[in-house]
C-alpha cells in the first residue's frame, strides 16, 4: 500500500523528478498542498456528441470526427503560422479547425486519425470553424465499444481547466492532480464543528476532492462554497483580531473644545455643511475623543467635500495641543491641499503673523523639491509644534522630519502609498496616532469589508450645493466627424470664458516604441498617445490660437507649480496633461475634459479624471475618445462610464470587468496565500456571514487558543506579510 500523501509532502515524492521540477519552475508548486490548492479556474462541460450536419454558430459542441487534411500556413497579418485541419464525420459534412503558432500538433493530428474535438462553433468568412479546439485522439486500433466509452467520458464530464504555463499545460496539471488524489490524505478539518453546522459546510477532504474531480454540479458548488468560506473566514478572522487589538491599544484622546479653533472655523464658514459632512464629522469627532487610536476610512465621490471633513478633524486635534499631518501622493496635490486649506483657514492659519489670529495655528508644506533654507524652516515648525498642520508628500517620511506631538495622520488617496510609507509616518508619533484614510475612488462594500475590514468606514455620498452635473459621451472611431465636433465644442466653452483639460495616457514617445501585439481576434494597437506629441498637434491644428499649457510628472517642481498657477488664474485656456491631474486639482472654471485613448484607462481612473470638471456653477462635459469599436470589452467599459456618474456603481462594474487579483496586496514572498476562489463582488453574502462568525469567535477567544488548527490555517492563507498589510492599510 502506498504511503499516504499529506499537504507537506514534496511533489517529487509523488510525481517524480521531471514533473515536480516543471511544476516548481513554471508554477511555483512545490508540495502536495501547493498542488491541491491550485484550483481549476473554470470547468468545461462537454456538450452531447453532435452530428456535424446540425451545427449552429455559437454552439458548444463535441464532435467525433476524422482528420481529412492537414496544412501549415504562414500568417500575413501577424508573425507566426497557422495549422489548419479539416475534419469530417462520414456524413459528407466537414469543418475547419485552426491552431495559431502550434504547428507541432501536426505530429499528432495525422490524416485518417479519429478523435473527439470540442469547442465553440464560429463563423469565419462564411465558413464554420473551431478555433483552437480541445481534442482527444482515440486509440488507432480502438474497438467501437472502446470508442463509445471514451466518447461518454469526454462528452459528459465536468473537465477542470487549470491556471497553466506553456511548459505545463492544463491537461498535465489535471493528470498530476489525479495521481496525487490516489494517495492524498486530507488534513484534519480546521473549522470548528459549530461553524460547519451553522453554515452547512462540507468537510475539507470532500471539498478538496470534489473541486478537482466533481461528481456533479451540486457537489462542485458545495466544494467551492466551502473553499471560498475558508478564504473569507481567514481574512475576516485576521481583521477581527486587528480590530480587537486596536480597541485595546493605548492612545491619546483628542476631545473637541467648545471654544477652540474648530469652533471659530465652523462659525466663519460661508456655507452650511451637507448632512453627510455633519454626520461623518460627528463620527470622526467621537473617535478622536476616545483614548485609543482611530482607524477610519473616509470614502466619497469626487467633490463630495472629504477635504473639509479632514480639516475639521485636524483642527480638533490642534485644539487638544496636538499636530496633524496630511500625506498626499504628488507635489501637485500636496501643494493644492496646502493652498486650499490656507484659504479655508484664513487668519486662523496664520497665527504669529501680523494679520493672523492669535487663537489659530500655522501650516507648513514639506515636499522633496524645497530648497535647503525653506526645508529647514518648514521642518523646524513641525519639530517645535509651531505648525499645527503639516502638509506634504513622501518627503514627510524622511529622516529629519520630526513632530512635537503628532496626533492625527490623514492619508489622501491611500492606494498610492505602500504599507511601509504609511507606517513610517505613524512611527513619528510618541504614542500611536489617530489615522484617517481618504479615497475618492468608490469602493464596493465587500472590498471595503475585506481590504479595509479593520477600519471603520464612513461614506460621503452627497455632493455639496452648487456642484454642476457632468455629461459624458464616447467619441467613437466609426464616426470620425465626432472628433472634429469635440474640438469645436472645446473652443465654444473657451469662447464662453471657461477652460478645458486634454488628458493623454503617457508623457512622451520613447525611442523604439512599436505597435502592441494583437490580442485574440483584435488588430495590433499603436502605442498610446503622449502629451508631448499631442500638445503641439493641437496648437497647430484644431486648437490654434488658444493658450495651451503642458503638465506631467517629469516637469521640475517649480515648472509644475507655475503651470498650475497659470491655469488656476485663468492665464491658460487648455491644459494638456497626464493623470497627474487625476486627484486634488480644483479649478471651478474648467468645464470640458477630452480624454484621448480613453480605453487605455481604468474605470475608476476615468471617473476620477472627469471629476475635475463641473466643479463650479457651469455644467461639465467629458468626452472619451477611443479607437475601440462596438462589441469590444474596452468599448463596453467606456459606454458604462458614459452611462452613469454613480461612482459606486462604476466601482462594481470595474470589479466585474477586471481580474480581482490579490486584494490583500502584492506578495513578495512567493507563498501561495492569495485569494483563489473568493469573488469580492459575487460572494458578498458569504463575506458578510464570515465576518459575523469571525467577530463572534474572536470576541470569545481573541488569539484562537481553543482552535490551534484554525489558527494555523489562517496563518497559511493570510501570511505574515499580508497580515501586516491588513493591519497597516
- Interval 589-618 mean pLDDT: 88
| Spatial separation of the C-alpha atoms in residues 665 and 590, rounded to whole Å | 36
What pLDDT sits at residue 658?
A: 55
CA 413 to chain centroid, in Å, comes to 14
What pLDDT sits at residue 194?
A: 92
| Spatial separation of the C-alpha atoms in residues 619 and 490, rounded to whole Å | 13
> 140-154, 208-222, 423-437, 712-726 — which is least confidently predicted?
140-154
- C-beta separation of 385 from 408 below 8 A: no
What pLDDT sits at residue 477?
A: 80
Q: 655: pLDDT confidence band, cut at 50, 70 and 90?
A: low
What pLDDT sits at residue 120?
A: 80
Cα–Cα–Cα angle for 692, 706, 4, rounded to 5 degrees = 100
Kindly tell me if the per-residue pLDDT of 86 is higher than 80.
yes
Kindly tell me if the per-residue pLDDT of 42 is higher than 70.
yes
- Interval 7-20 mean pLDDT: 92
Which range is most confident: 519-528, 604-613, 694-703?
694-703
Structure-model confidence comparison of residues 438 and 718, the more confident one: 438
Q: pLDDT tens-digit profile of 45-55?
A: 655 455 677 77
Query: What's the predicted TM-score (pTM) here?
Result: 0.63
Task: Determine, yes or no, domain membership for 485.
Answer: yes
- C-beta separation of 214 from 223 below 8 A: yes
Calculate what percentage of the chain has a pLDDT beyond 70: 83
Chosen domain end from 644, 660, 691 = 644
- Interval 223-252 mean pLDDT: 87
Q: Which residues pair with 295 in a beta bridge?
A: 435
- C-beta separation of 90 from 63 below 8 A: no
Task: Determine, yes or no, domain membership for 115.
Answer: yes
What pLDDT sits at residue 659?
A: 47
Structure-model confidence comparison of residues 8 and 245, the more confident one: 8
Q: Which residues pair with 459 in a beta bridge?
A: 299
Structure-model confidence comparison of residues 332 and 729, the more confident one: 332
Handedness of CA 412, 417, 422, 424 (dihedral sign): negative
Give the CATH number for residue 601: 3.40.50.300
Strands 158-161 and 362-366, how do they pair? unpaired
What pLDDT sits at residue 512?
A: 41
Cell of 684: 458578498
- Interval 619-639 mean pLDDT: 87
What pLDDT sits at residue 517?
A: 43
| Backbone torsion region of residue 597, taken as left when φ is above 0, otherwise alpha when ψ lies between -120 and 50, otherwise beta | left
Number of domains in the chain: 2
Q: Which residues pair with 298 in a beta bridge?
A: 438, 458
Q: pLDDT tens-digit profile of 180-217?
A: 999 999 989 999 999 999 999 999 999 999 999 998 88
- Interval 22-29 mean pLDDT: 92
Kindly tell me if the per-residue pLDDT of 313 is higher than 60.
yes
What pLDDT sits at residue 31?
A: 93
DSSP class of residue 41?
S
- C-beta separation of 118 from 61 below 8 A: yes
Task: Determine, yes or no, domain membership for 188.
Answer: no
Maximum distance among all Cα pairs of the chain, rounded to whole angstroms = 102
Neighbours of 614 (CB within 10 A): 26
Q: Which domain holds residue 108?
A: 47-156
| Spatial separation of the C-alpha atoms in residues 328 and 416, rounded to whole Å | 9
Kindly tell me if the per-residue pLDDT of 685 is higher than 90.
no
Which range is most confident: 8-12, 456-460, 555-559?
8-12
Neighbours of 561 (CB within 10 A): 16
Which range is most confident: 162-166, 293-297, 422-426, 439-443?
293-297
Q: 3-class SS at 218?
A: helix
Task: Determine, yes or no, domain membership for 56.
Answer: yes
Strands 114-124 and 60-74, how do they pair? antiparallel
Task: Determine, yes or no, domain membership for 413.
Answer: no
- Interval 675-681 mean pLDDT: 77
What pLDDT sits at residue 131?
A: 86
> 145-154, 299-308, 564-573, 668-677 — which is least confidently predicted?
668-677
Chosen domain end from 156, 188, 209 = 156
The cell 501643494 sits on which residue?
335
- Interval 92-116 mean pLDDT: 86
Task: Determine, yes or no, domain membership for 108.
Answer: yes
Chosen domain end from 590, 610, 644 = 644
What pLDDT sits at residue 668?
A: 32
- Interval 23-37 mean pLDDT: 93
The cell 481618504 sits on which residue?
438
The mean predicted confidence, pLDDT, of the chain is: 83
Calculate what percentage of the chain has a pLDDT beyond 90: 40
Give the CATH number for residue 64: 2.40.50.140
Q: 3-class SS at 495?
A: helix
| Spatial separation of the C-alpha atoms in residues 682 and 659, rounded to whole Å | 13
DSSP string, 653-673: HHHHHS----TT---SS--S-
Structure-model confidence comparison of residues 581 and 462, the more confident one: 581
Integer angstrom CA distances of residue 208 from 2, 188, 225, 329: 20, 12, 11, 44
Task: Determine, yes or no, domain membership for 88.
Answer: yes
CB-based burial of residue 588 (10 Å sphere; 0-12 exposed, 13-18 middle, 19+ buried)? middle
What pLDDT sits at residue 151?
A: 55
CB under 8 Å to 15, separation ≥6 — which residues? 23, 176, 179, 180
Kindly tell me if the per-residue pLDDT of 345 is higher than 60.
yes
What pLDDT sits at residue 30?
A: 94
Strands 406-412 and 434-439, how do they pair? parallel
Task: Determine, yes or no, domain membership for 630.
Answer: yes
- Exposure pattern of 544-553 as b/e (b: 16+ CB <10 Å)? eebbbbbbbe
What pLDDT sits at residue 222?
A: 96
Amino acid at each position: 500500500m502506498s504511503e499516504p500523501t499529506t499537504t507537506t509532502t514534496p511533489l517529487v515524492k509523488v510525481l517524480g523528478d521531471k514533473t515536480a521540477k516543471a511544476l516548481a519552475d513554471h508554477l511555483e508548486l512545490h508540495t502536495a498542498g501547493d498542488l491541491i490548492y491550485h484550483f481549476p479556474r473554470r470547468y468545461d462541460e462537454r456538450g452531447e456528441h453532435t452530428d456535424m450536419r446540425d451545427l449552429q454558430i455559437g454552439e458548444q459542441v463535441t464532435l467525433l470526427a476524422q482528420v481529412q487534411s492537414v496544412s501549415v500556413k504562414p500568417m500575413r497579418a501577424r508573425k507566426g503560422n497557422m495549422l489548419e485541419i479539416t475534419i469530417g464525420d462520414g456524413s459528407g459534412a466537414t469543418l475547419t479547425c485552426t491552431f495559431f503558432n502550434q504547428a507541432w500538433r501536426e505530429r499528432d493530428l495525422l490524416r485518417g486519425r479519429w478523435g473527439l474535438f470540442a469547442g465553440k462553433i464560429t463563423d469565419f468568412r462564411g465558413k464554420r470553424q473551431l478555433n483552437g479546439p480541445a481534442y482527444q485522439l482515440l486509440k488507432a486500433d480502438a474497438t467501437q465499444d472502446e470508442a463509445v466509452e471514451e466518447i461518454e467520458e469526454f462528452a459528459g464530464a465536468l473537465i477542470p481547466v487549470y491556471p497553466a504555463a506553456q511548459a505545463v499545460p492544463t491537461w498535465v496539471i489535471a493528470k498530476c492532480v489525479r495521481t496525487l488524489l490516489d494517495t492524498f490524505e486530507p488534513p484534519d478539518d480546521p473549522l470548528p464543528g459549530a461553524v460547519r453546522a451553522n453554515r452547512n459546510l462540507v468537510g475539507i477532504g470532500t471539498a478538496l476532492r470534489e473541486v478537482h474531480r466533481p461528481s456533479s454540479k451540486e457537489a462542485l458548488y458545495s466544494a467551492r462554497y466551502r473553499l471560498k468560506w475558508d478564504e473569507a473566514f481567514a481574512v475576516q478572522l485576521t481583521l477581527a483580531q486587528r480590530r480587537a487589538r486596536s480597541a485595546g491599544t493605548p492612545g491619546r484622546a483628542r476631545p473637541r473644545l467648545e471654544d477652540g479653533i474648530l469652533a471659530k472655523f465652523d462659525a466663519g464658514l460661508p456655507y452650511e455643511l451637507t448632512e453627510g459632512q455633519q454626520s461623518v464629522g460627528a463620527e470622526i469627532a467621537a473617535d478622536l475623543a476616545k483614548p485609543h487610536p482611530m482607524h477610519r476610512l473616509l470614502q466619497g465621490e469626487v467633490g463630495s467635500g472629504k477635504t473639509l471633513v479632514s480639516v475639521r478633524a485636524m483642527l480638533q486635534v490642534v485644539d487638544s495641543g496636538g499636530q496633524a499631518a496630511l500625506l498626499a501622493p504628488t507635489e501637485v496635490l500636496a501643494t493644492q491641499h496646502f493652498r486650499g486649506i490656507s484659504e479655508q483657514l484664513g487668519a486662523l492659519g496664520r497665527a504669529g503673523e501680523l494679520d493672523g489670529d492669535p487663537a489659530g495655528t500655522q501650516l507648513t508644506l514639506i515636499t522633496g523639491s524645497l530648497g535647503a533654507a525653506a526645508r529647514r524652516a518648514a521642518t523646524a515648525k513641525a519639530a517645535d509644534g509651531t505648525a499645527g498642520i503639516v502638509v506634504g508628500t513622501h518627503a514627510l517620511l524622511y529622516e529629519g522630519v520630526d513632530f512635537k506631538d503628532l496626533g492625527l495622520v490623514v492619508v489622501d488617496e491611500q492606494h498610492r502609498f505602500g504599507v511601509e510609507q504609511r507606517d513610517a509616518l505613524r512611527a513619528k508619533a510618541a504614542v500611536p496616532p489617530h489615522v484617517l484614510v481618504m479615497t475618492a475612488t468608490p469602493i464596493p462594500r465587500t472590498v471595503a469589508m475585506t481590504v479595509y475590514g479593520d477600519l471603520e468606514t464612513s461614506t460621503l455620498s452627497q455632493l455639496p450645493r452648487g456642484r454642476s452635473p457632468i455629461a459624458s459621451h464616447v467619441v467613437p472611431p466609426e464616426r470620425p466627424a465626432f472628433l472634429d465636433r469635440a474640438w469645436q465644442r472645446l473652443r465654444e466653452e473657451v469662447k464662453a470664458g471657461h477652460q478645458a483639460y486634454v488628458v493623454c495616457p503617457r508623457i512622451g514617445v520613447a525611442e523604439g516604441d512599436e505597435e502592441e501585439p494583437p490580442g485574440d481576434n483584435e488588430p495590433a494597437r499603436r502605442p498610446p498617445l503622449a502629451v508631448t506629441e499631442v500638445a503641439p498637434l493641437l496648437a497647430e491644428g484644431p486648437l490654434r490660437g488658444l493658450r495651451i499649457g503642458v503638465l506631467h510628472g517629469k516637469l521640475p517642481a517649480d515648472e509644475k507649480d507655475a503651470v498650475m498657477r497659470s491655469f488656476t488664474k485663468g492665464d491658460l485656456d487648455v491644459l494638456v496633461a497626464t493623470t497627474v491631474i487625476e486627484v486634488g486639482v480644483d479649478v471651478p472654471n474648467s468645464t470640458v475634459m477630452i480624454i484621448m485613448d480613453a480605453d487605455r484607462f481604468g474605470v475608476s481612473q476615468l471617473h476620477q479624471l472627469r471629476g475635475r470638471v463641473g466643479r463650479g456653477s457651469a455644467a461639465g462635459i467629458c468626452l472619451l475618445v477611443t479607437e475601440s469599436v462596438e462589441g469590444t470589452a474596452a468599448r463596453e467599459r467606456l459606454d458604462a462610464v458614459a452611462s452613469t456618474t454613480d461612482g459606486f456603481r462604476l466601482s462594481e462594474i470595474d470589479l466585474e470587468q477586471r481580474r480581482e487579483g490579490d486584494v490583500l496586496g502584492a506578495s513578495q514572498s512567493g507563498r501561495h496565500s492569495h485569494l483563489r476562489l473568493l469573488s469580492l463582488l459575487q460572494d458578498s453574502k458569504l463575506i458578510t456571514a464570515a465576518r459575523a462568525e469571525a467577530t463572534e469567535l474572536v470576541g470569545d477567544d481573541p488569539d484562537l487558543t481553543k482552535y490551534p488548527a484554525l489558527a494555523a490555517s489562517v496563518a497559511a492563507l493570510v501570511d505574515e506579510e499580508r497580515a501586516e498589510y491588513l493591519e497597516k492599510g
